[in-house]
Structure 1
Amino acid sequence: MDENWPRPGSGNSATSRRSGRRERMSDISFIGLGEMGSALAGRLLETGHSVRVWNRSPGAADALVASGATRAASIADALGVGTVISMLANDEAAEAVFSAESLAGVPAGTLHINCATLSVDATDRLAERHALAGVEYVAAPVLGRSNVAAAGKLNVIAAGTKSATARAQPWLDAIGKRTWVVGERPSTASLVKIGANYTLIHALQALAESLTLVEHGGVDGLTFVEILTDAAFTGSVYTGYGSLIARKAYSPPGFTVGLGLKDLSLAERAAADSGVVLSTAPVLRDMFERALADPDLAPLDWSAIAEITRGLSASD
């Protein structure tokens, strides 16, 4: 999941963003209508595109249908459009929806753009499964919260064959302000997103510890965040999450504690597969597991792991 990120500096692998208003495109299907998926599908509708929507829990499509989307009668109906974007919660959901059986009936040459954060191995399996079905596949996980998605200002990390990423680019331009094409193997994009989220998780814990430290010295947390982010840490991860932690404003969640642990687990798995040691991962896992074990914290935004650090510290 991802979060409200500042725009990074330019690089040779970056694909330039759009300019000007786009013409109305042909139909596209959107599969997976959680908070982020609904925001993305809504963005496509808002920018003039014709969108067919499908979700495993049908009620999630109601608001989008009321806004002008077409409800797909089945997953087969959703996959018959020719271009599909998906945002499903995890590996299990993505592999269940995009099974070999469901892909078998998809028209050859269909393009699937998967915007979810999935593991490297699941992305490899999905890419192979799509190739066998004659479906072009692009992994395009996004950086930004749902409000950023709704504004079309996400950063997108994409990987796939050159033909697939070229076909995907107009759709990625519709949802994001910038796309980085990082390779032709789709799982490369998943690995980059996993690394980005691992850094973000560290930022949450660092903010939790520093805020707890100064609060115990009688300093107002919001004042500290203002000092911290005025010059040294100007990015929106620090300004946005710093404010949430200082104010204990974890509801409604933009990205839940459970999803945060899922993303940490993806980093742990990728590291194990690569023989990389992530020395701080056990500490971070402990924070998430403690938060999930607390019924008051479990349903909140993932930045609520800060309350574990506050609770571990001596009371005033």
Structure 2
Amino acid sequence: MTMPQLGFLGLGTMGAAMARHLLDSGHSIRVWNRTASAADAVVDAGAERAENAGEAIATGLFFSMLSNDDAAEATFTAESLTAAPAGSLHVCHSTLSLAATDRLVEVHRQAGVEYVAAPVLGRANLAASGTLNIVAAGSASAVERAKPYLDILGKRTWVVGAQPRNANLVKIGVNYNLIHALQALAESVTLIERGGVDGETFVEILTDAAFTGAAYTGYGALIARKAYSPPGFTVALGLKDLALTEQAAAAHGVTLPSAPVLRDVFESALADPALAGLDWSAIAEVTRGLVQPD
């Protein structure tokens, strides 16, 4: 059975690695990038070059990895989508805003093109080896149609609903955790270094003990289930440890930008009789309480 030709639009570091992996898996690919030279390496490896976005869209089964909202919306317009044959499917791997995703879904709907949002978790080395995690959302039929290709690109596909915006919401949430991790590492490593301890040694201790991933699987599950009792470590003890951190930072002349925000959260939890005696992960309920009603 002849495999269909695929289109791939957006050949930055991630997109090029993904397109090359599809090519190496035996698929014929027509590729396009706004800066044509970025496609050279994939074309040299055997892909066909599209002279414009419409030529890649014309394959009827096309994937994209564009850098941002503006790039995606400039590429997939009512005009460019006229190149799509009946029954076309677009699998969009870009990390986009919820509003842009909604607009893209609508322009695709009007063009008669099915749309699956499938942002990826992982870096270019994982894209090259086909071991990404992929978060997908779209109609059940569209996701099912995309799945054989997602299985090539990733080690696991997480389907999170029929609304494409949900996939981007999950990716945004994952990246927000990474942003927090970057800042937490920046603050703790700076503090440790100012105290005269080697930063690399500290990171090795940190990742061999508290942060092997267990913090996310353990505390993440407690927060998701709101299972804060019996407490393993109380809110008051958490605030005590935060205070110790603040004191150590002051002693070493280190500013911790997130510490005042964390203090506000812990103090709010302690002031709430329903939370004060629970596990320190119950500080999550302070944030839940900030959600505006629908």
User: Could you say which residue in structure 2 is the equivalent of 1:252?
Assistant: none
1:50 Cα offset (Å): 1.2
Q: Which amino acid aligns with 2:83?
A: G
The correspondence for 1:157, drawn from 135, 140, 148, is 135
Q: 1:68 & 1:136 partners in 2: Cα distance?
A: 28
Given that residues 79 and 106 in structure 1 are in contact (C-alpha distance below 8 angstroms), is that contact kept between their aligned partners in structure 2?
A: yes
1:124 aligned partner: 102
Determine the C-alpha separation between the residues in 2 that align with 1:108 and 1:200.
40
Quote how far apart the aligned CAs of 1:135 are: 0.4
Do residues 111 (structure 1) and 77 (structure 2) align? no
- Extract unaligned runs of 5+ from structure 1: 1-22, 239-279, 284-316
Instruction: Choose 161-170 or 221-230, whichever is displaced more.
Output: 221-230
1:177 maps to 2:160: no
Q: State which of 187, 212, 232 in structure 1 corresponds to 2:165.
A: 187
- Name the structure 2 match of 1:53: 31
1:148-297 mapped onto 2 (5 Å cutoff): 148-235=126-213
Give the equivalent residue in structure 2 for 1:66: 44
- Offset, 1:225: 1.1
CA distance in structure 1 between the aligned counterparts of 2:19 and 2:209, rounded to whole angstroms: 36
CA drift of 1:24 comes to: 7.2
Which secondary structure does the structure 1 equivalent of 2:63 belong to? strand
Report % sequence identity: 64
CA contact (8 A) 1:143 1:154 kept: yes
State the Cα distance separating 1:106 from its structure 2 match: 1.3
* CA distance in 2: counterparts of 1:36 and 1:24, whole angstroms: 27
Offset at residue 25 of structure 1 (A): 3.1
Q: 1:24 and 1:229, CA in 2 relative to 1: closer, same or farther beyond 3 A? A: farther
Identify the match of residue 85 of structure 1 among 38, 58, 63: 63
Q: Which moved more, 1:44-53 or 1:31-40?
A: 44-53
Given that residues 118 and 137 in structure 2 are in contact (C-alpha distance below 8 angstroms), is that contact kept between their aligned partners in structure 1? yes
Q: Take 1:144 and 1:233, find their aligned partners in 2: how far apart are those partners? A: 19
Size of the aligned set, in residue pairs, is 218
Larger Rg computed on CA atoms: 2
Letter of the 1:140 partner, please give it: A
Alignment TM-score, normalising by the size of structure 2: 0.71
TM-score by length of 1: 0.66
Greater relative contact order: 1 or 2 (C-alpha under 8 angstroms, separation 6 or more)? 1
Distance 1:221 1:151 in 2: 31
1:24/1:48 contact within 8 Å kept: no
Q: For residue 257 of structure 1, what is the aligned residue in structure 2? A: none
1:126 shift after superposition: 0.4
- 1:100 alignment partner, SS class: coil
**Residues 36 and 149 of structure 1 are in contact (CA less than 8 Å); yes or no, is this contact kept in structure 2?**
yes
Distance in 2 between the 1:119 and 1:126 partners? 11
Which residue is 1:296 aligned to?
A: none
